[in-house]
């Protein structure tokens, strides 16, 4: 129980604290305004809102189609659509913001800020906050008496099952979020290349990278690949993204700061 609690706290620091810390670092050391980081976060919410409409439309289309989809086929089709359209909309929204907002967003620092905002809010909303609320429920109901509590028996069973989770589960889950954050930064830097290289094929590369990574992770997980192997694959893909960042001169944002500190 103690180990699981410590693991959850560490996972919360990673899924919530790391994106915030990255934003603070960019703001303080790379002079990226919080406003720019917020653009990335807002872009994520816009994409999620649009995805809701797309999935509602897809569901209505399938329900009225002939022949009808099996439940499994519908689930797989919906999953594939979410990955493809989510990547496409994510790239388009970030590209449109960098192009049409009346601010100097076509720069390495701004691209990093938008990527951190986009991937960071995804980590916080999809994993960090739900985990925090679950952990709060686990701790607040830790010493309840099953004979006197007003909680439903099903809820008590769920709480007991949560405390039986292995301590490594929240830790490896938080590592997957780090990998996703690195991916979103890399995708945003690929979008930046469409401006700096004046070639929109880079936008296709950005969409392709996100579809490839999310498709592999989700597809193999649905195919029954053990969770540990899925996380290992996500870490290998993260290493590939870090290499790609270096090829895109993304690592320069850190070397520039090192130079500034040396001058000071």
- Give the three-state DSSP class for 55: helix
- Domain range for residue 77? 2-263
**Percent above pLDDT 70 for the chain:** 92
What average pLDDT does range 229-255 have in this prediction?
89
**pLDDT computed for residue 256 by the predictor:** 57
- Please tell me the distance from the alpha carbon of residue 132 to that of residue 126, in angstroms, as a whole number: 11
Interatomic CA distance for residues 162 and 184, integer angstroms = 30
Which string of DSSP letters, residue by residue, matches 64-117? T-SSPPPHHHHHHHHHHHHHHHHHHHHHHHHHHHHHHSSS---SHHHHHHHHHH
Is a pLDDT exceeding 80 seen at residue 1? Answer: no
User: What value does the mean pLDDT take over residues 91-106?
Assistant: 94
User: Could you read off the pLDDT of 161-187 as tens digits, one per residue?
Assistant: 888 888 888 998 899 999 999 999 999
Residue 258 has pLDDT above 50, yes or no: no
Average pLDDT, the chain: 89
First-to-last CA distance in the chain?
A: 48
Cβ–Cβ < 8 Å for 36, 110: yes
Per-residue model confidence (pLDDT) at position 226: 87
- Say how many domains are in the chain: 1
List C-alpha distances in Å: 151 to 15, 27, 93, 140, 162: 29, 45, 44, 12, 16
| pTM of the model as a whole | 0.90
Q: What pLDDT does residue 145 have? A: 65
Non-local (6+) Cβ contacts of 108 within 8 A are 189, 192, 249, 250, 252, 253
pLDDT digits (tens, 9 = 90+) for 133-167: 999 988 887 777 666 666 677 877 887 888 888 88
262 pLDDT band, cuts 50/70/90, is very low
Which residue in 76, 85, 83 sits closest to 57, CA to CA?
85
d(CA 110, CA 214): 24
pLDDT digit string, tens, across residues 46-71? 999 999 999 999 888 887 776 677 78
**pLDDT given at position 61:** 85
pLDDT reported for residue 59: 86
pLDDT confidence of residue 257: 52
Provide the pLDDT confidence category of residue 10 given band limits of 50, 70 and 90.
very high
Angstrom CA distances, 71 to 56, 59, 76, 78, stand at 16, 12, 9, 11
Q: Which among 179, 194, 186, 183 is positioned nearest to 250, based on CA atoms?
A: 186
Say how far apart CA 76 and CA 40 lie, in whole Å: 29
Contact 115, 40 (CB under 8 A): yes
Cα–Cα distance, 232 to 166 (Å, whole number): 17
Cα(114)–Cα(246) distance, rounded to whole angstroms?
18
**CA-based nearest residue to 179, from 217, 225, 227:** 217
Classify burial at 140, counting beta carbons within 10 Å of its beta carbon; exposed 0-12, middle 13-18, buried 19 or more: exposed
């Amino acid at each position: 129980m103690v180990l699981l609690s410590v693991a959850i706290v560490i996972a919360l620091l990673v899924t919530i604290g790391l994106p915030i810390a990255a934003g603070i670092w960019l703001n303080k050391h790379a002079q990226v305004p919080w406003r720019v980081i917020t653009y990335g976060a807002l872009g994520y919410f816009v994409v999620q809102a649009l995805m809701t409409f797309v999935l509602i439309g897809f569901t209505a289309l399938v329900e009225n189609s002939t022949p009808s989809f099996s439940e499994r086929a519908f689930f797989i089709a919906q999953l594939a659509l979410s990955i493809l359209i989510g990547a496409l909309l994510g790239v388009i929204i970030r590209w449109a913001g960098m192009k049409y907002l009346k601010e100097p967003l076509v720069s390495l620092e701004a691209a990093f800020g938008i990527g951190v905002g986009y991937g960071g809010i995804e980590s916080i909303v999809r994993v960090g906050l739900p985990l925090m609320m679950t952990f709060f429920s686990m701790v607040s109901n830790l010493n309840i008496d099953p004979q006197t509590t007003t909680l439903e028996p099903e809820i008590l069973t769920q709480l007991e099952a949560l405390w039986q989770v292995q301590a490594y589960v929240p830790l490896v889950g938080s590592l997957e979020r780090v990998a996703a954050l690195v991916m979103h930064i890399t995708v945003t830097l690929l979008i930046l290349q469409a401006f700096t290289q004046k070639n929109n094929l880079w936008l296709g590369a950005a969409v392709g990278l996100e579809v490839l990574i999310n498709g592999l992770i989700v597809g193999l997980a649905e195919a029954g690949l053990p969770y540990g192997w899925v996380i290992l694959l996500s870490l290998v893909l993260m290493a590939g993204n870090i290499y790609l960042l270096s090829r895109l001169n993304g690592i320069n944002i850190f070397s520039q700061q090192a130079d500034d500190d040396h001058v000071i």
